[in-house]
Structure 1
Amino acid sequence: YCSRLGFERVAEFEFWATGFEGGPQQISADGGNTTLAVFEASAGHPIIAQKTGIAFSVDAENFALFARRLPGEFLAPDGHQLHPADIVDLDLCWSIYFCDPWGNQFEINSYDYEEVRTDLILADGITPTRLWPTECYSEFRRAQEQ
C-alpha cells in the first residue's frame, strides 16, 4: 500500500499495530486526515478477504503513475497480472480493478476523464477495456457539450 499506492503509516496509531496480535496498521494518503485500517489475519484475529471492493478516486497524475507501473505486483480480480489494457473506460471516469496480495479487491479511478484520455491513454497508445456500450453515456456527453 505504501510503495504502490502512496500510503504512509500513521505514527499516532502505531501502537495498535505493534501493541497486540492482530492489531490494525493505520495508513493514510493524505497526512492522516483519512485513514485505512489494514489488519493481518491470525488465529487470534481471523479476517476474511474483502471481496466487494473499495474504490479510491485519484487525480489524473496519480492514476497515470499507477497505470504506468503495470504490470506490477497487483493482480486483476480474476487472477491475471494487470496490464495497461486492463484500464476500463467508463465514459465518465477511468478505472483499474485489482487485488492486493491478500485477495482484497480494490478499484482506483479518476474522474479527470479528458486529462487521463489525453495524457495516458492516447499518449501511451493504450486500448482500454470497455464494460458498457458507448451509447450508455452518449446522451450525457451531448448534454455536457451544450
Structure 2
Amino acid sequence: MKQNSFRMGRLDHVHIRVPNRDIAAQWYSDYLGFEVVKKYDFWAKGFSGGPLQISADGGNTMLALFEASEGHPLAPQLTGVAFSVDSDTFISFSRSLPNGIESPAGQQLKANDIVDFDLCWVYNFVDPWGNHFELNCYEYKQIKQDLIAADNLTPVRYWPSELIDEYQK
C-alpha cells in the first residue's frame, strides 16, 4: 500500500440545496444561529447559481446554500450533516424544544428525542426542505447529569447499553 504524505484538512463546507437561499438562510438563522459569511457573499450576489455561505461558528465550518434549479434539482441531504456543540449549547437547544424544528419522522422535535450513543448525545432533525442534520455533544457525563437526570428525560437507544461496557473491557 502506498504511503501518502498528503493529509486532508478540516471540513470547510457542505453543499445544501434549497428552493430559495434567502428564505433558507433566515430559517437557519432563526432556528440554529447561522449567519451569512460576508467574506463569501459575492458568490451568491455576483453570479447566478453561486452559493450563499452561512456559518454558526464565524466561518470555520459552513453550509453552502445552493438554489435548486433545472440542472441542479432539489436533492435533500439524506445521510446527514453532524455538528458538535458544548454541553451548555446542547442543553439550551434541548430545553428550547419543541420549537418548530422537525424530526426526520416529520413530527415536532422534542427533548425526549435525544439519542444516547454511550459516548455522545444526539438530536436528529431536518430542515424544512428535508435535509438531515445531527446535533452532537461529547460531554457525556455532563449531559447525563445536567439534562437527562435534571429534566427526567428518557433517551432513545439504538443498541443495548451493555455493549459499551463490553467494548471498554
Q: Pick from 58, 71, 90 the counterpart of residue 31 of structure 1.
A: 58
Is 1:137 equivalent to 2:164 in the alignment?
Answer: yes
Normalising by structure 1, what TM-score? Answer: 0.88
Normalising by structure 2, what TM-score? Answer: 0.77
Q: Which residue of 2 aligns with 1:74?
A: 101
Q: CA deviation at 1:129?
A: 1.1
CA distance in 2, matches of 1:90, 1:119: 17
Unaligned ranges ≥5, structure 1: none
Q: Which residue of 2 aligns with 1:98?
A: 125
Unaligned ranges ≥5, structure 2: 1-27
Matching of residues 48-63 of structure 1 within 5 Å: 48-63=75-90
Q: Pick from 27, 30, 41 the counterpart of residue 14 of structure 1.
A: 41
Q: Which deviates more from structure 2 when the two are superposed, residues 33-42 or residues 109-118?
A: 33-42
Deviation string for 1:15-34 (max 9, x for gaps)? Answer: 22223343211011221223
Q: CA deviation at 1:44?
A: 5.7
**Number of residues of Structure 1 aligned to a counterpart in Structure 2:** 142
Contact in 1 for aligned 2:41/2:53 (Cα 8 Å): yes
DSSP-derived class of the 2:30 partner: helix
Q: Which residue of 2 aligns with 1:116?
A: 143
- Report sequence identity in percent: 56
Contact in 2 for aligned 1:92/1:113 (Cα 8 Å): yes
DSSP-derived class of the 1:39 partner: strand
**Equivalent AA in structure 2 for residue 16 of structure 1:** W
Q: Which contiguous aligned blocks of 4+ residues in structure 1 show a shift greater than 4 angstroms?
A: none
Q: CA deviation at 1:139?
A: 2.9
